[in-house]
Chains A and B, each alone.
Chain A
Amino acid sequence: MKLLYFAWVRQKIGRSEEQLAVPPDVTTVASLMDFLRRRGAGYEAAFQNPALLRCAVNQEHARFDARVGPDDEVAFFPPVTGG
């Protein structure tokens, strides 16, 4: 799975993107967030409050109950602020 992080999510995690093999029980955005939160302190900080986060699956806005699979591109970011 390709993961992308933007703005302060990227800063807290310390990287802008990564390719991860996720376990088979990760089938939704919400379960992906649970999986990522356990990867370290930076991830824990980034995913601490899901209400502050937005997500896109394959470059389309997605809800946290959206399905995700190994070939998907999933992005996490704060609400957009305009230009």
Chain B
Amino acid sequence: MSEVRIQHEDFDPGAEIAALHTMAGDVGAIASFMGLVRADDRMEAMTLDHYPGFAEREISAHVAEARTRWPLLGVRVVHRVGRLTPGERIVFVGVASSHRQAAFAAAEFLMDYLKTRAPFWKLEEREGGATWVEARDSDDESVKRWR
């Protein structure tokens, strides 16, 4: 079972982990990651833009790829969009498997993808104005190592 959600509202990480526990059968390990908005370079807020439908499809394709690489029993990805301020929860990835190695690896694989390639556009607000974050030109090292 996999679930990918993109939403404006906050999420409850405990509820997401609990859902992983019950959504799959013989779970021996659940690895989860939660990302928070940082105040890098005095950033006051960021607004994430996304293409509804397209974004879910792209992320789901990577969840499917993770499932071909590791024996996973459940995956939950929650990504927030809209305006977020430092300290707010922005992303949750949870992976259930029989053993910890697959759960850790798949969670890291999915986060490396989400941080660098997920179909979002970020507008960062600082004193003096708001600027769109530019895409990185080269392949990020964190993504390369999964090839």
Q: Tell me the bound Cα distance from A59 to B61 in angstroms.
A: 13
Interface check B121, CB cutoff 8 A: yes
Known contacts A6-B121, A7-B123, A56-B54; A83/B132 CB under 8 A: no
Question: How far apart sit A37 and B114, CA to CA, in the bound complex (Å)?
Answer: 32
Shortest distance from the beta carbon of B79 to any chain A beta carbon, whole Å: 5
- Given contacts A6-B49, A7-B132, is CB(A77)–CB(B121) below 8 Å? yes
Q: A6-B51, A7-B49 are in contact. Are A80 and B132 (CB under 8 A)?
A: no
A79 within 8 A of partner (CB) = yes
* A80 B118 Cβ-Cβ under 8 A: yes
Number of interface residues of A (CB under 8 A): 15
* A24 contacts partner chain B, Cβ-Cβ < 8 Å: no
Residue of A8, A77, A79 touching B51 (CB-CB under 8 A): A77
B72 CB within 8 Å of chain A: no
The answer to whether the Cβ of A29 comes within 8 Å of any Cβ in the partner chain is no
Residues of A within 8 A of B (CB): 4, 6-8, 10, 56, 59, 75, 77-83
25 pairs, A vs B, C-beta closer than 8 Å: A4-B51, A7-B49, A7-B121, A7-B132, A8-B121, A8-B132, A56-B54, A59-B53, A75-B51, A78-B134, A79-B134, A80-B121, A81-B120, A81-B122, A81-B133, A81-B135, A82-B114, A82-B116, A82-B117, A83-B35, A83-B79, A83-B90, A83-B91, A83-B115, A83-B118
